[in-house]
């Protein structure tokens, strides 16, 4: 096990369920260009799980990562708080979220536990502060933007 940081396993023992759902999502990945399939399973603070997989596109920048797909699926279900995410790949070495996904995950879950697993059984764990120190967060926008944000959350 290639643990890079000490991160507690979720107290409800959800890692096995999250692993299973992440690998199931990975099986649906649309990655005809890279061949690099990724699945993600995100645990909401209420214990519910939302999945995502990478979805590539012939116009490469239009592609979407599994982690952001999971966030989008979760938000569409009204989930805004998360405790853990499992990222599943077929790589030899566990892969952390890309920079864009780190930013998106930080928006909703600054204390998120991140577990990356591979088909071969390798894994690595991080926390969001490990992955994105000195993050740009909603508070970085200042008081005015924060009040606008609260208004849109009520819509
Ligand atoms: Zn990404």
- Mean of the pLDDT values across residues 133-149? 82
Centre of ligand 1 to C-alpha 129, Å, is 17
d(CA 72, CA 19): 19
Is it the case that residue 151 has pLDDT exceeding 70? no
Residue keyed to tokens 């005809």: 32
pTM metric for this prediction: 0.87
Residues 6+ apart with CB under 8 A from 119: 23, 88, 89, 90
Q: How far is the CA of 73 from the centre of ligand 1 (A)?
A: 15
Q: What is the pLDDT of residues 65-115, one digit of tens each?
A: 999 999 999 999 999 999 999 999 999 999 999 999 999 999 999 999 999
């Amino acid at each position: 096990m290639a643990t890079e940081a000490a991160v507690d396993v979720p107290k409800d023992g959800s890692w096995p369920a999250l692993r299973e759902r992440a690998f199931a999502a990975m099986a649906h990945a649309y990655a005809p260009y890279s061949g690099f399939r990724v699945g993600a399973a995100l645990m909401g603070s209420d214990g519910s799980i939302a999945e995502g997989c990478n979805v590539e596109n012939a116009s490469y920048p239009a592609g979407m990562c599994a982690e952001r797909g999971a966030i989008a699926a979760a938000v569409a279900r009204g989930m805004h708080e998360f405790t853990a995410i499992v990222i599943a790949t077929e790589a030899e070495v566990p892969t952390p979220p890309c920079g864009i996904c780190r930013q998106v995950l930080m928006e909703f879950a600054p204390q998120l536990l991140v577990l990356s697993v591979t088909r071969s059984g390798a894994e690595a764990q991080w926390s969001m502060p490990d992955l994105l120190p000195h993050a740009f967060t909603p508070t970085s926008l200042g008081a005015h933007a924060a009040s606008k944000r609260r208004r849109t959350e009520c819509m």
